[in-house]
Structure 1
């Protein structure tokens, strides 16, 4: 049977998607090289192919106009956050381990080389960022984003530990959970991406962009939760659906956050069109991706 040819618009759209997938393939190769350099940090279980391909695709579709070199730092930072998330949520068993995680990351933020694989990978990311022309101006924003990621991760660990001890009253409200969304990691990824890309050169210009990105991060936190509830229950992770009246409430909140994201992104279009598009695409891609898939895959 003959396959009908697509119309011109369809061909052009398919060509654009093809270029984006080619960019994701290049990004995937870099992530695989990164993981190979830190084998203790990325064991096959749980770091199967879906983690690496998912991270590569998300970053490629977020910046399809870029080349692989331009999204390298964002992708590696996202992969680092997956490793940190796994170590904090599923490997650490004591407050002392969480304190060591926080202290090690803080030391790297100040220029230390790192003592364990997670710290050394973070140090390699920081070393690449220091080569950016805008690093002197934006380094405080990166250190703050990292601090917030670490503190939010530690806070969620303490909530989960209390719940495991039967202290249900220690669990956060949905509002407190959303206020802790920095442990999702996208704000840290975004700041790293913008520093590496050198398109934002002052803290003043970064501030409204980061604020929009933080709102996107909160929306993404709920989009993720809606898709991964069953896995989170099985793995013992915290999920907003465990804290809310039901799925309908979280869906409504996610929709409201998405609307607020647009209100924050729209004013950025004139001065920072690519960055505004990046944030829109980040949210849109995740809504589509989580509709049918999950980064972690099956264990």
Structure 2
């Protein structure tokens, strides 16, 4: 039996956990204010206190060295990703409607005003305005726009795959094609927001490498998510990696390989970008642990 930790060590560890949870509490309160301020976007369904708490906890434990105010934009970027995913997967009813949604979001990322009948665009416009106010945005704004564009196109691609499969118009994509479309998880676009807000000059100089590492984490998390949400995706009619192979074990083996590869990549990155590598490492570890027990979406 392993020896129990000393009382002083246990006290210090619990105090650190409490501090991180306080970061999450601050973040959740801000996200709750977002829900209240945008009732036409977050009126019902899964946008509840459990979702905002789960988002804020995930970001706080991924970047526990940050101050609460530094994580506000990261949290809001995650909430935008969830709102976009809900609109694409659950509300869009036609390709024309989806194309219009994507084009509106792209216009806002380029600085256009959101239409009055576009609640998702209005929320993104607020995020964009806050990002523009960050000095690093002048240099890194193009990287955020590129990441947002990839996310929007990836979500549209998944909708097209799902719809074509449902209507019997084409076979499912290969698992490799599906993983190449992992920007539909909206992970890297959030990470770019985080680095714009919290990174220093070294982060800005190495952003291309950070995006490559983030994409690798994103592909692994795509499979972590799918392995945990397969039954829900079947009920909702969503696409899932397990639906693309003959055996769930194939997805598990691919995930194992992806985690090995991304671990090596993050070890290399740690020498030049220790805090950013730690952020990605903790993001991967926290989300993997989270999905072992529950899901961000709280509706059946």
Distance, in Å, in 2 between the alignment partners of 1:210 and 1:267 is 14
Distance, in Å, in 2 between the alignment partners of 1:17 and 1:168 is 49
Contact 2:175 2:244 in 1 (8 A): yes
Residue 36 (structure 1) aligns with: 36
Pairing of 1:178-197 with structure 2 (within 5 A): 178-197=179-198
Residue 8 (structure 1) aligns with: 8
Report the secondary structure of 1:289's partner residue: helix
Q: Deviations over 1:215-248 (max 9, x none)?
A: 0000000000011011111111110000022221
Shift of 1:298: 3.1
Unaligned runs of 5+ in 2: none
Contact 2:32 2:49 in 1 (8 A): no
TM-score normalised by length of structure 1? 0.95
Residue 248 (structure 2) aligns with: 247
Distance, in Å, in 1 between the alignment partners of 2:203 and 2:288 is 31
Shift of 1:46: 2.3
Distance, in Å, in 1 between the alignment partners of 2:28 and 2:238 is 27
Residue 57 (structure 1) aligns with: 57
Distance, in Å, in 2 between the alignment partners of 1:203 and 1:281 is 21
Pairing of 1:30-179 with structure 2 (within 5 A): 30-115=30-115, 116-169=118-171, 171-179=172-180
Distance, in Å, in 1 between the alignment partners of 2:261 and 2:186 is 20
Unaligned runs of 5+ in 1: none
TM-score normalised by length of structure 2? 0.94
Shift of 1:49: 2.5
Shift of 1:271: 2.3
C-alpha RMSD of the superposition: 1.6
What stretches of structure 1 move > 6 A for 4+ residues in a row? none
Distance, in Å, in 2 between the alignment partners of 1:27 and 1:182 is 24
Distance, in Å, in 1 between the alignment partners of 2:183 and 2:201 is 21
Distance change >3 Å, CA 43–CA 200, structure 1 → 2: farther
Report the secondary structure of 2:206's partner residue: helix
Shift of 1:64: 0.7
Shift of 1:183: 0.7
Distance, in Å, in 2 between the alignment partners of 1:172 and 1:105 is 26
Distance, in Å, in 2 between the alignment partners of 1:223 and 1:198 is 27
Distance, in Å, in 2 between the alignment partners of 1:266 and 1:123 is 36
Distance, in Å, in 2 between the alignment partners of 1:279 and 1:202 is 13
* Higher deviation after alignment, 62-71 or 174-183: 62-71
